Amino acid sequence: AQSVAQPEDQVNVAEGNPLTVKCTYSVSGNPYLFWYVQYPNRGLQFLLKYITGDNLVKGSYGFEAEFNKSQTSFHLKKPSALVSDSALYFCAVRDGQTGANNLFFGTGTRLTVIP
Amino acid sequence: ETGVTQTPRHLVMGMTNKKSLKCEQHLGHNAMYWYKQSAKKPLELMFVYSLEERVENNSVPSRFSPECPNSSHLFLHLHTLQPEDSALYLCASSPGTAPSYTQYFGPGTRLTVL
């Protein structure tokens, strides 16, 4: 079965500090991993994805994520947080082998960047 | 967000009303999706269409009826809804249904059922 866990409902970080939003996953085949961000009253915006290749993936707005197969994790990171990064972040996974159409999402992590 | 648009953005309806949500994608994609987003719960996939053919129906109650007249438009027809159906309904599209394709989301329709 496929699943995604975002262990932190809320992450607070000071502006200018590095940020990490955690994600772990479970799939039976090869994982295809995605990060999305949602601002208030808006839909989900795609940030980055891991399909294959380099474990460090760079995406929009200076975000990056590191795929760690042994720890089944795909944590989102940014070296220096901005107040405008405050939003709800979702990790999602699809199983590359089962062919299922479902993109399984975590419950989201609310990031607050404190000025 | 201009790639995928949704109307209306907000909808309030009674339990006996019939209404429809509309989604349009301007990305030339072949697959379209309806998701339900409720507070404190993961997004729930409701329906998937590929080349206008429904390929997924995740045990959604029959009071939700999707329609995909062409690859650019997707509708969700609503009738005799329940208050627990109140949620944000998100439409998404992707080039195809392969797992590597990114899904691009619209802004959503905030639905309130009284």
**Average of per-residue pLDDT across B50-75:** 90
How many angstroms separate the CA atoms of B106 and B22, rounded?
A: 11
**The pLDDT value given to residue A57:** 97
* Mean of the per-residue pLDDT values of chain B: 92
Give the best residue of B4, B91, B102 to mutate against chain A (max A CB count within 10 A): B102
**The pLDDT value given to residue B34:** 96
Q: How wide is the angle at C-alpha A18 spanned by C-alphas A92 and A11, nearest 5°?
A: 55
Whether the per-residue pLDDT at B59 is higher than 50: the answer is yes
Contact A76, A7 (CB under 8 A): no
The helix (run of H) or strand (run of E) holding residue B110 is strand B109-113
Q: What is the pLDDT of residues A92-110, one digit of tens each?
A: 999 877 766 778 999 999 9
Q: What is the pLDDT of residues B104-114, one digit of tens each?
A: 999 999 999 99
How many angstroms separate the CA atoms of A72 and B54, rounded?
A: 32
**The pLDDT value given to residue A99:** 63
- For every residue of B43-56, DSSP letters joined together read -EEEEEEETTEEEE
Measured between beta carbons, the chain B residues lying within 8 angstroms of A25 are none
Is B1 or A47 the better-scoring residue by pLDDT?
A47
Whether the per-residue pLDDT at B91 is higher than 60: the answer is yes
Q: What is the pLDDT of residues B7-33, one digit of tens each?
A: 999 999 988 889 999 999 999 999 999
* Mean of the per-residue pLDDT values of chain A: 93
Q: Is A82 exposed, middle or buried (0-12, 13-18, 19+ CB in 10 A)?
A: middle
What percent of chain A shows pLDDT beyond 90?
Answer: 81
**The pLDDT value given to residue B1:** 47
Is B11 or A42 the better-scoring residue by pLDDT?
B11
Contact B74, B68 (CB under 8 A): yes
Give the best residue of A4, A8, A44, A110 to mutate against chain B (max B CB count within 10 A): A44
Residue B33 has phi, psi (to 5 degrees) of: -140, 150
Contact B1, B24 (CB under 8 A): no
In A1-115, beta strands by DSSP E:
3-5, 10-14, 19-21, 24-26, 31-38, 44-50, 56-58, 64-68, 73-78, 87-95, 104-105, 109-114
CB nearest to B42's CB, from A45, A96, A107: A107
Q: What is the pLDDT of residues A60-97, one digit of tens each?
A: 999 999 999 999 999 999 999 999 999 999 999 998 77
For A62, the 3-state DSSP assignment is helix
Distances (CA, A) of A65 to A12, A61, A73, A78, B102: 18, 12, 10, 8, 16
**Average of per-residue pLDDT across A41-59:** 92
Measured between beta carbons, the chain A residues lying within 8 angstroms of B41 are 107
- CB contact under 8 Å between A104 and B105, yes or no, is no
